[in-house]
Every structure is written in C-alpha cells, then in structure tokens.
Structure 1
Amino acid sequence: MKYTLVSSCVALVLLTFGGVDAYPRNKQTKPTKQPTLSVSLKANADYTPNVRASLAKAVAKFTKHSERPVSNSNAGDSGTVSIGVVPVVDYGHDIMYYGIVSIGSPPVDFKINFDTGSSDLWIASTMCSSCTTQTLYNSTQSKTYVKDGRPWSIYYGDGSNASGVLAQDTVVIGNITIANQTIELAQQESSSFAHGVTDGLLGLGFGSITTVDGIKTPFENMISQGLVDSPVFGVYLGKASKKGGGEYTFGGSNPSKYNGTLHTVPVNSSRGYWGVDISNVKVGNTSVASGFDGILDTGTTLLIFTEEIANNVAKAYGATGNGDGTFRIACDTSKFKPLVFTMNGNDFYVPRDSLIFQQDGDYCFAAFAYSSGLNLSILGDVFLKNNYVIFNQEVPSVQIAPSIDQF
C-alpha cells in the first residue's frame, strides 16, 4: 500500500505498555502471557482529513502493477526474544499511523508506515536525488550493509511509483533485532512519496506479494529467526476522539486493548492479503448486503465497497452520492444505527460516531466509499480502530474483539 490519505499505512502512537499476552489457543479465552514486541502509537491532531484523496490512494494501491518520535535506539540482540515499545505519531485524525524502525549499524531511525495490505520493506536512500524531505539510508554508513543489487519497482494506478535496488541490513523494530533483512532502497520516487510524511513502508501482508520473488518479509524473519514465540501480531488503532494512540504487538497481543471475547475468522491468503469472507452487512438489524470478499488493511483509511454495496449502505443512512465514489451524509449521527459486519457467524461493529470521516462546511463526508475498479471490499482503519485484531500468519486467520475505543 502507499502512504496517503486513505491508503495511508497505519500511523502508530505512544501508549504505556503493560504485560502483553501471546496468541490464544482457545477463542473463548484471552491469550496467555508470552514474550512479545509492542509498537505503540500516538496521536497528532494537526491534520485535516480529505476523503477524496483517501479514496483515490486506496484504489491506486490495489490497482498497482507489479512532531518527531522518540528514537528507537535500545536495540535488542539478534536471536533473542524481546519486548519493546516504539513511540509513534498518528498523522491526521485516524488517517495514517506510522512508527520508528531503525536500520543499519549504527542504527538510523526512519518513520515507517505499517501496512497489512502489502509485503515490502522499502525506504528512501541517498541514491534518490528527488527525496529531499526524507531521512535517507546511506549504505556507506552501515557496517552491516550487504549489497544485493537486484532491481525492484512499484507502480500504482494513479501514476505514482518507486524503484531501486535490493540490499540486506539489520532492522530493529522495538527491541527486536532482525539480522540480514532484505530491504528495498529507493533510487527514484514520485513526488507523492518523495514529499510525503514518512520515509518508507513496512508491509505485513504475506510474502507471496513481495515485488521480488523469494524475499522474506520482516515478520516472516521474526518467526524464522526465533525472535517471537508466536507467529502472530496484534493491532490496536486508537481514535483521535479518544486521544488517539494505538500499538502493534509482535509475537502476541495486548488484552488491555480489547473487551469481551476474541472470535476467530479464517483468512484466505491466496492473493497475499488478509482476506476474509463477509457473510452479511447490516445497518442495525437490517441486512443491506451479503456474501462478499473483504480485506483487512491497516494501510487504508476508509471502508471501501463495490458500488452496489456502497449504494445500499448509503441508502440505509440517507447518504447521497457525489458522483466520485464518495458520499455526503448527515453530520448529526445521533439517530444512526451501527454498521455491522458478520464474519464466521459473529458480528463486528462500526459505531455511528465512526461513520463520519470529514466535515466540509454544513455537510459531512461518509467514512465509506466505493470504486468501480475493485471487485472486493476493504476494511480499513474505520473498521480496525473499532476492533482489535490478532493476525496469525502461520495458520492464516484473525481473531477479532471490540476495541476498548469502540463505544
């Protein structure tokens, strides 16, 4: 995914980290305590949402052709299981969450978007002459740099792109050190990347969709190098309306960030994404759509449906289409019913306060949209900031429970 307004890879935030627990064996119980890594998130209120830009960027991502945080300097030793917290910034009102990842020896800190909708780790480098506002990776300054030289490139449907060469180096996420991680060094970036708020992107999708075949993702290397006890990571995204915040917990989950029971939903990873079967969508108790495919994507801001499903949802809320995939909706949500997604026999909620994405004068834009270019639906941060999700890479599945911020 690319970092933008809808397709803005998650922005991470600083929260106090207590004990975190590993992936539960039984969906009726919370996980048992295990060593984990947590990446925390913090809110930044100095940004105005843009629903049209968010929609355009999300569509571009899935039509692709091929305030400074505290330094993360306390790196753990490679080969050990460790626990770490990374202070991060939430850029905008629940639009994009990013955190610090350290790369090289000595480590250099980069602002990185965490994205379950892609699988590459790429960063701006000193080889990129147009990358004037980003922190740049310099291979000559790292003792652990290993040359690879194979080319990589990413092209998106909106014309944005990035390309460069592969390398290997030490990567630190929280206090977990990944040795010999393949990284993609940008030699060229289009302006939307080169002048963006972040320095790169870390994909948390499956390895089958990396731009170069055979590359292991950072999370795959955490597992294969024995750096985490469980092949899972938990995601909590906070709401700006509740002081923002959030965290990524690698190797387990944090039960203090969700309420009630975790419910397991099988994942279809055949396309490299965290795909789920959505059996029903309701507005309150009234069904408006059924039987369609969805993707859980931390790198997309909105809920994005096919046109038919979006129109059904809009009709139930009295929303009016703007002719560009977005909808105008009443700013007063006091009489709205929640939007309910049924997956594997369980209901998961998006409450009424999350149905408004942007206010523009006397009217509001809805937090859902559509694109005729997509044949699936994307459950972005609008869903994920209301539901805590544990992603299991080894046995493709997710566990979902209401976030502490849901209501």
Structure 2
Amino acid sequence: LAKRQTPHSIDLIDQQNQLFWSGPQSYGIPKQGPFQLDHDTGSSDTILNEGTYNPKASSTAKNTGQNFTISYGDGTTASGPVYTDNFYISDLAVKNQALGVANGASLGLPGAAGISGMAFKSISQFKMDPFFYTLVKQAKIPDVFAYALRRTPGASKLFLGGVDKSSYKGKLTNVPVNSANGFW
C-alpha cells in the first residue's frame, strides 16, 4: 500500500450520534449538488430522495428504462426509475454512473439526501456497478477505500484510492474478503 498514490478524500458528517456518516456527491451537467449521502458498505446502489437530483435538468442524464424497488434492514423501502449520469466525488469524475430517484419517498436518513452503496455489485438491485467500482473501472483510482471515523466533529473522512497513514499506527494486514453476502 505504501506505493499507492495519495488517496482522494471527502469529509464525512456524523449523523444521529454515529448511526451513519454522510458525505458530498454531485451529479449531472450542469452539476447538481453536492448532496450529502450516507456512504453505506451494506448496500450497492445510489438512491436519492425525490426532490434532490433532477434528471431533466442534466444534459448527460439517461433513463435506463429500468425501475427499482429496494428494502433496507431498518424497514425503509424505496422505488423509482434508474438513470445514469456524470458523477463527482472529491476531485474525481466519471461518466455513466447509475443512480435511482425515489418516487415520493424519503429513505428515512435525517441529514442525508439519500444513500450511496459501496458494497459489491452482486447485491445491486440495478445490476450495475456501485460508484466505487465505476471509479476503479474508469481508471480514476486504485481499488482501495478506507474510512477514518472519529467522534470529533469534522474529523471523519472517506478515502478513495488509498489509505491515510496518519489515521492508524503499525502495519496494515490484508485479510480475505468473503463477498458471498455482497457487503463488507
């Protein structure tokens, strides 16, 4: 890991006393956002609450003709159309990233405009790459991400494409990942 490039990072905001951390993402041309989204390692799809992202206002949005219906562990459900559009996080940009727009529903995440899945494609309702994998496939970053979650306000971060050596002590150990369940 020492040879990897400096990771890209975004600041994360502690929501609801460490229930989840949200961070900024933007979509489309012209850019819409940034939207604060829950970066979730237990789901794979990006879904925005109705009234946030407007695909009709983006010259690069494409309706895939697909609809989604998804349920989360907390009982929250959402459904709506799936689009692809330009995606921006930190100083990174990719084309054709999948995102869903929830029809008439909020995902029940106070402080967040939606959820952005970072788990494996195998559990994607869209059957399309989560944003992290799109970043890797479009050669924007190496296939590493890391969280630094702290109780101190303003100190939590998501690192894309590497790790922040100041966030830990000692050596990192690689362990096999069991992707059978689809999440980390």
TM-score normalised according to structure 1 size? 0.43
Bigger radius of gyration, 1 or 2? 1
Q: Distance in 1 between matches of 2:71 and 2:11?
A: 30
* 1:150 equivalent among 53, 66, 85: 66
CA 1:194/1:141 → structure 2, altered by over 3 Å: closer, same or farther? farther
User: Offset of 1:177 from its aligned partner?
Assistant: 0.3
CA offsets 1:343-399 (integer angstroms, 9 cap, x no match) = xxxxxxxxxxxxxxxxxxxxxxxxxxxxxxxxxxxxxxxxxxxxxxxxxxxxxxxxx
- SS of residue matched to 1:223: helix
Structure 1 match to 2:132:
219
- SS of residue matched to 1:273: coil
Q: Distance in 2 between matches of 1:100 and 1:267?
A: 27
* 1:170 equivalent among 56, 62, 86: 86
* 1:98 equivalent among 22, 39, 55: 22
User: Offset of 1:155 from its aligned partner?
Assistant: 2.2
8 A contact 2:83–2:100 mirrored in 1:
yes
**What is the count of residue pairs matched by the alignment?**
183
CA 1:251/1:112 → structure 2, altered by over 3 Å: closer, same or farther? same
CA 1:175/1:185 → structure 2, altered by over 3 Å: closer, same or farther? same
Q: Cα RMSD over matched residues?
A: 1.8
Q: Distance in 1 between matches of 2:177 and 2:143?
A: 14
- Name the structure, 1 or 2, with higher relative contact order (CA <8 Å, separation 6+): 2
What are structure 1's unaligned runs of at least 5 residues?
1-23, 25-30, 42-88, 127-135, 275-407
8 A contact 1:90–1:245 mirrored in 2:
no
1:250 equivalent in alignment to 2:160: yes
User: Offset of 1:208 from its aligned partner?
Assistant: 0.3
Runs (4 or more) in structure 1 with deviation over 6 Å come to none
1:107 equivalent in alignment to 2:31: yes
User: Offset of 1:160 from its aligned partner?
Assistant: 2.4
1:122 equivalent in alignment to 2:47: yes
Q: Distance in 2 between matches of 1:252 and 1:159?
A: 33
Structure 2 match to 1:160:
76
* 1:262 equivalent among 160, 172, 178: 172
Q: 1:2-81 alignment to 2 at 5 Å?
A: 24=1, 31-41=2-12
Q: Distance in 2 between matches of 1:35 and 1:122?
A: 29
Q: Distance in 1 between matches of 2:148 and 2:109?
A: 28
8 A contact 1:168–1:181 mirrored in 2:
yes
Q: Distance in 1 between matches of 2:17 and 2:72?
A: 25
Q: Distance in 2 between matches of 1:35 and 1:158?
A: 36
- SS of residue matched to 2:3: coil
- SS of residue matched to 1:188: coil
Q: Distance in 2 between matches of 1:257 and 1:265?
A: 19
1:183 equivalent in alignment to 2:99: yes
Q: Distance in 1 between matches of 2:17 and 2:108?
A: 22
CA 1:270/1:216 → structure 2, altered by over 3 Å: closer, same or farther? same
Q: Distance in 2 between matches of 1:253 and 1:158?
A: 30
CA offsets 1:51-86 (integer angstroms, 9 cap, x no match) = xxxxxxxxxxxxxxxxxxxxxxxxxxxxxxxxxxxx
* 1:202 equivalent among 93, 116, 123: 116
What are structure 2's unaligned runs of at least 5 residues?
none
- The alignment-based identity, stated in percent, is 32
Q: Distance in 1 between matches of 2:137 and 2:173?
A: 27
